Amino acid sequence: MPARCFNHPGLPAVARCVRCGKAVCASCSTRWEGMHHCNACLAARRAAEPGRTATARAVGLALLGLAVAGGVTLLRAIAGAILARAF
């Protein structure tokens, strides 16, 4: 395996992209299903994925997270009041 990253010649390569075979450094490499991919091949694979976009899911998850944060806030106040009274 070449010693240097294809995109960043100043950085050491840690793996080869399983699709195009280029040597990639730690920041260029992403593991998908246990295999290293470069950024371009990863983008191509993700573009081929069917269904809702990752961005839409992340936004939904962020909104759910805000609801959870509100629940945690309430739970902290309620649990604190009950425990302070009990102990």
Q: Is 60 left (phi over 0), alpha (psi -120 to 50) or beta?
A: alpha
Kindly state whether residue 20 participates in binding another protein, applying the rule CB under 8 A: no
- Choose, by CB under 8 A, the member of 17, 22, 37, 38 that binds another protein: 37
- Rounded Cα distance between 53 and 10, Å, is 34
- Choose, by CB under 8 A, the member of 23, 30, 38, 41 that binds another protein: 30
Token code pair at residue 59: 């936004």
- Rounded Cα distance between 17 and 55, Å, is 25
Kindly state whether residue 55 participates in binding another protein, applying the rule CB under 8 A: yes
Residues that bind another protein (CB under 8 A): 11-12, 14, 26-27, 29-34, 37, 42, 51, 54-55, 57-58, 60-62, 64-65, 68-77, 79-85
